[in-house]
Chains A and B, each alone.
Chain A
Amino acid sequence: MKIRLENVVKTFETFRAVRDVSLTIESGELVALLGPSGSGKTTILRMVAGLEYADGGHIYFGDQDATDIPVRDRGVGFVFQHYALFPHMTVAENIAFGMKVSKVKREKAAIDARVVELLRLVRLEGLGDRFPAQISGGQRQRVALARALSVDPKVLLLDEPFGALDANVRHDLRRWLREIHRELGITTIFVTHDQEEALDLADRVVILKDGHIIQQGTAEEVCRNPQSAFVMKFLGDANVLAAEVRDGKAYASGAAIDVSGMADGKAELYARPADLDWSAQGPGIPASITRVLDRPDGRRVLATTETGDQLEFDVEPERAVKAGEGGFVTLRRAKVFALG
């Protein structure tokens, strides 16, 4: 089911949560709404679900205007941040709930068969008789998904689906959700504030800030070509240097980057830690190491330039560096954004 949001607006009291958002989601697409808290991403998701009504604009499901269709008739599957499983029902009863209250009457045997099928899909065979309090967080998450899928929704909506889980479980569930999506081909929108999750999982990432869409595109597009300093910073660690653009070149702390086409003036230069190289001899920006953070996949070095800028970069795990050492930083690549 194709979903189209047209100039959607939502205001809570005086807080303008969503301002004039237009967005098209193709049938079968897996889209991430990514943004910091207060960016309006959850509100957009809830408006698509019908759990909030839009103050202005329209939401189309296919060609049908769904703006005023109440949630119970909208045909969406919603997975809540804290799962919202019915605590007094077993896992199987939770999954069967939607089918039991449906206007389409089903045989009990058909419901039971569907529950078994869904339990297999979410790999929870044999846990049907447990209560939600008796299973782990990751399992609850999967029950919530099975319950949402039980009503054959046109759209699957997930609000911070992995937010409350620990890192390992989150990683596995992410892969698994991707598989399920491929298997079912259902249009899916999920909300997250975790860039890695959005980039790993989604066909398309929609980045939001203050109720606006700032940028959208595939993971490759937004990573390789961030169009604003906000997106650059939000997607991952970035070094920031004050820069000056003159005659198609940006100068920062003694380094120069080609930026042909940019107007002269003050600017900011952004470089990922992996885009910086460290060497004992010049040329480069002279700096001294203040701290070394060891991580499983390499060593993160914190350094201060002679002009007082803080820099972060990575070196190979076997490279011997220690606090107090001096050397030179070279920029392999960087993005420059004009100020103001």
Chain B
Amino acid sequence: MRRNVLPGLRLSLGVTLFYVGLIVVLPLAALVFKAASLGPEDYWRIVSSSRALASYRVTVLSALGATVFNLFFGLALAWVLTRYRFPGWRIVDAMVDLPFALPTAVAGIALTALFTTNGWFGSILADLGIKVAYTPLGIMIAMCFTSLPFIVRTVQPVLEDLDPALEEAALSLGGSDWEIFRKVILPLLTPALLAGVSLSFARSLGEFGAIIFIAGNQPMSTEITALLVFIRLEEYDYQAAAAIASVLLIAAFVMLALTNWMQSRALRYTVRG
């Protein structure tokens, strides 16, 4: 190991590795172990059953939709919070973290109350012929709510640290507002946006509490994968639960690997040499 002037490296390394092992690796290993105790044929049959496939579809598509929505809205919110100071700024800034603080079940119940056909929003939307509660759209809204802070909070500090001289330089070279945003600001925000996207997507995949109230939970249409896992657990079918959960796990891993790779590509310019 490289000698380091700053103290405490080895101890902190040991403590953190032990902690990660205990809290993260061990349960995941147990999950994989449980799933692996099924034969390959049983495993495949369970994870590719039509009910499971339908649940992956609704979960992944809703999570993608929610993440794309949050990508735009979260960026806009971070932009406004960084660039403008308005009355109530502090309140809006604090509210961004609210989805983290609120028990997700509470959020789910509140959203359901708002969006059912006789709720405040739901009744208006129903007049327009849009049904939210007990549809995939409702799942998406619940996911949007719980994963909003990720993108705002990853982009905001980067935006705050952006040297105003960069924009002034682009302005003095004749760039339009849109060109400056697209060619100067956005590329510099991309790594942070990707980090926020991967966190937001991973969170949406695993979200449970906020969704089950608003989703309606109809097998084959509005049943999310996390709920299916829960149902299998209730039935004491631990192996099937672990098998389906492992699919979620793989999906999250693939997403994180993909965004990490994209991030390192976006950060190529920082490599010295």
Residue numbers of A with Cβ under 8 A of B are: 49-51, 71-74, 76-78, 80-82, 84-89, 97-98, 101-103, 131-134, 147-148, 150-151
Q: List B contacts of A82 (CB < 8 A).
A: 163, 165
Give every chain B residue within 8 A of A102 (Cβ-Cβ).
Answer: 174
A-B complex: 7 closest residue pairs judged by Cβ atoms: A98-B173, A84-B165, A84-B169, A101-B175, A78-B172, A131-B269, A88-B187
Q: Does B12 count as interface, using CB distance less than 8 angstroms?
A: no
Partner of B172, one of A72, A85, A88, A89: A72
Inside 8 A of B169's CB, which chain A residues have their CB?
78, 80, 84-86, 147
Cross-chain contact B270 with A87 (CB below 8 angstroms): yes
B188-A87 in contact (CB<8A) = yes
A-B contact count (CB 8 A): 81
A84/B270 in contact, CB under 8 A: no
Q: How far is the CA of A50 from the CA of B169 in the complex (A)?
A: 12
Residues of B within 8 A of A (CB): 163, 165-166, 168-176, 179, 183-184, 187-188, 266, 268-273
User: Can you offer 28 A-B residue contacts whose CB atoms are under 8 A?
Assistant: A50-B172, A51-B171, A71-B172, A72-B172, A72-B173, A72-B174, A77-B172, A78-B169, A78-B172, A80-B169, A82-B163, A82-B165, A84-B166, A84-B169, A86-B166, A86-B184, A88-B187, A98-B175, A101-B174, A101-B176, A101-B179, A131-B269, A131-B270, A134-B273, A147-B169, A147-B173, A148-B173, A150-B173
Nearest-neighbour CB distance to chain B for A5, whole angstroms, equals 18
B269 interface neighbour in A74, A87, A150, Cβ under 8 Å: A87
Q: How far is the CB of B74 from chain A (nearest CB, A)?
A: 21
Cβ–Cβ contact A84 & B269, under 8 A: no
Residues in A neighbouring B273, C-beta threshold 8 A: 134
Q: Smallest distance from the beta carbon of A34 to chain B beta carbons, Å?
A: 22
Residue with the greatest number of chain B CB neighbours at <10 A, chosen from A72, A78, A80, A87: A72
Chain B: minimal CB distance from A303 (Å): 45
Task: State how many angstroms separate the Cβ of B193 from the closest Cβ of chain A.
Answer: 13
Report the minimum CB–CB distance from B97 to chain A (whole Å): 30
From the candidates B165, B170, B173, B188, name the one contacting A88 in the complex (CB within 8 A).
B188
Contacts of A131 in B (CB 8 A): 268-271
Residues of the A chain whose Cβ atoms lie less than 8 Å from the Cβ of B171: 51, 71-72
Q: Tell me, rounded to whole Å, the shortest Cβ–Cβ distance linking A189 to chain B.
A: 14
Task: Decide: A72 near B188, CB < 8 A? Known: A78-B168, A97-B183, A134-B273.
Answer: no
